[in-house]
Structure 1
């Protein structure tokens, strides 16, 4: 078994699982490395085993696909063609003459590091939520939409009794219906997209009748739970002292500005807000992979321009679980063939390639429908905290731009410290870019996450081909 080529897959969500199963089934040893305690990622997140949930609901949808992937992973683990390292946070991928060494933190305090040697690397690092600040967004009780969903899926818990779900994007629908099914009163679903945005792209949206049916199902559940739905609206402010007590919402005009005369206050103790997602590109950037805007550039085989490195899923562009599965399958088949020294046959993944094309086009349409309001930065007052880690306000960012001449995120960072905290700008970069009037660009960093100095100071840990025993 050790004579087989070795592929390291980073990330155990839909793309990583599909790639792992495909590569292992075609003659390659795979080490699947993931920061979570269980495989599945956010989309297939399951309740913690310690909760002993008797009848855990299927994660959103696609339960049968998840079961097939889970069972195939277990089969390959039993056959020792796949090693799955859980609770391992990859912080650096080191190119070597004969491949790569993947460095990952593990242990209760994340103070130990292990190196995994591999012949090639497949990045399935997923994405993270785009956060757009507004007055009061740092109050306890304000959470991201994905955070609310992760809490519900992983811990079977909710953060309050009365919630407003707001922002834009298809994620708001399963979040609102999931919370309502869990007994939370949904005071309002506030979506900034207008009915006209859907009608103008009706032809493109009709190309996915399954998604239309899924959306209709969510709409029926919202009606059943009597959830008020406000299209073409946005949250302009969150109110409270010790924690969230209410939010102010307003209708948007044709230019995307909040109309003051339409403002109204809605009492709630939870606000789940989201404005889409951004690709995780830290590891790809550290390796020197070409970035196209905010995502990793790949070819028809999901190969990056760095030899021996593939990428699949949300890191190559946000598009949802079905697209991630198709890309993961293609990447896994391609990596397996090339590591075995054979030329891949595109016919082997023809169906997945057709699905990829169709799903990518649909994702592009959704991006135009669910674009944040054009003038969302006008909600950020000078007193609004933009960078939570360094407590940098909107006024400080505007001063750096208007008085000190900053025209990009990096210069604002140097002048204000916005983005220098623990999250390294993942939370505040979109807001800083919006205030600076520039496009957000991923930073290229040597390390993908904060690393204890003790790890860097110690001698490198012994590297293995399948991680720690």
Structure 2
């Protein structure tokens, strides 16, 4: 292995950790760059050290797996094989002939620029929540489901005393059980999907029996904690003046329409809502990696079509921690072989490849079941804010696509400013696409996050 063989891993969640450890164990120098103060990502999010949590394992599944990752990282850091850069926010990865430069912001105000030069890059940037708007969703007390979980795991605080968990997707289960077990009163788990459709996809689901056992465990916990589950229900509106007071939910017919007479109000001070996950692909798009749907396309080695760039985990498609670990391990082995000038032997990662295949089939089946309910866009009133950054309403978005004739998200953005704010459309783009009928396509941005002008001015001329 050449002394200059150096891998930059962006993201220290399950995929990034697995990739970094697999590559470091085979002689590659690794720099692990992550925005969080501790490794683990969202799945293994740890309480802040200053809190002195005595039993952090109580908030986690697969704690032994996390311990192996944590201890492996510590050993490689101590040995000098891995450099772990915490609280470093990557805003661009620049491709150069034969190398890459990773640009990051660090410091409390993110005003200091740092660069890392590497021979290869593994993008393990994870995913983020899709939240579809509804009247009242901007009220204080309405949070994302993952945000509520992050508050509990990272800060050991509850988002409220009486919580409704709503939306669709497997994430709602650990959020509801975690909040209830920690002392919140979960007034209802409102799931728009119909669990009775799961048996139709039994062959794909049976490929991952451990996930089925996990789902059954959550169902048992919900019963034990006396959490009411409303299947085939959706949130119609959140109510309150200064903050959230109640939510209106209603049952869904098979075609997605609201069942007449089924609406009911549930008092609560917090609504934790989410409608699945989307892949973080900003850095991959900047590098020119080809997408497949809403994720990054990779081959059997987890290579993108840009030489020297690998991707793993939610970046390549939403699939949970087990899939991310398998993909990260495969990527790390492939990178080590390629950087040494050899040709990887797929047999060396055959067990991980089998896990990858089963998990991908499992989550493809789940994705079909846990889709947002049909007709959700029709229930959004014209005065509902869709783009929170620029305060653009659904009525303005509909006008752009109707009388003004916008046929794509970029034109809608130019006409309404929806997507021009701080988040650059990450939050509102799915809603804008649903309201207008435009395809949800990713924008290729030069930067993955806002960057101070002083950092740009301080970059070398080359």
**TM-score bracket, shorter-length normalisation:** over 0.9
Q: Which residue matches 1:27?
A: 27
Deviations 1:94-129 (A, max 9, x none): 111230110000011101101111011110000000
TM-score (norm 2): 0.98
Q: Which residue matches 1:285?
A: 285
Deviations 1:387-408 (A, max 9, x none): 0000000000000011101121
Deviations 1:250-303 (A, max 9, x none): 000111122241100000000000110000000000000111111000011000
Q: Which residue matches 2:100?
A: 100
Tell me, yes or no, if structure 1 residue 313 matches structure 2 residue 313: yes
Give the Cα separation in 1 of the matches to 2:296 and 2:402.
32
Q: Which residue matches 1:370?
A: 370
Q: Secondary structure at the match of 1:400?
A: helix
Give the Cα separation in 2 of the matches to 1:75 and 1:404.
60
Q: Measure how far apart 1:4 and its partner are.
A: 4.6
Q: Measure how far apart 1:172 and its partner are.
A: 0.4
My pick for the range that moved more, 164-173 or 256-265, is 256-265
Deviations 1:169-223 (A, max 9, x none): 0110100000001110011100001133223223432332222221111111111
1:419-438 pair list within 5 angstroms: 419-438=419-438
Which runs of 5 or more structure 1 residues have no equivalent in the other structure? 464-469
Give the Cα separation in 2 of the matches to 1:187 and 1:364.
30
Which runs of 5 or more structure 2 residues have no equivalent in the other structure? none
Give the Cα separation in 1 of the matches to 2:256 and 2:302.
37
Equivalent residues of 2:385, 2:393 under 8 A apart: yes
Deviations 1:21-50 (A, max 9, x none): 000001100000000000000000111100
Equivalent residues of 2:2, 2:340 under 8 A apart: no
Give the Cα separation in 1 of the matches to 2:376 and 2:206.
29
Q: Which residue matches 1:153?
A: 153
Give the Cα separation in 1 of the matches to 2:215 and 2:4.
45
Tell me, yes or no, if structure 1 residue 67 matches structure 2 residue 67: yes
Q: Which residue matches 1:467?
A: none
Q: Which residue matches 1:142?
A: 142
Deviations 1:308-365 (A, max 9, x none): 0000000000000000000000000000110011111111101111111111000100
Q: Which residue matches 2:298?
A: 298
Equivalent residues of 1:389, 1:423 under 8 A apart: yes
Give the Cα separation in 2 of the matches to 1:184 and 1:129.
22
TM-score (norm 1): 0.97
* CA RMSD, Structure 1 to Structure 2 (Å): 1.3
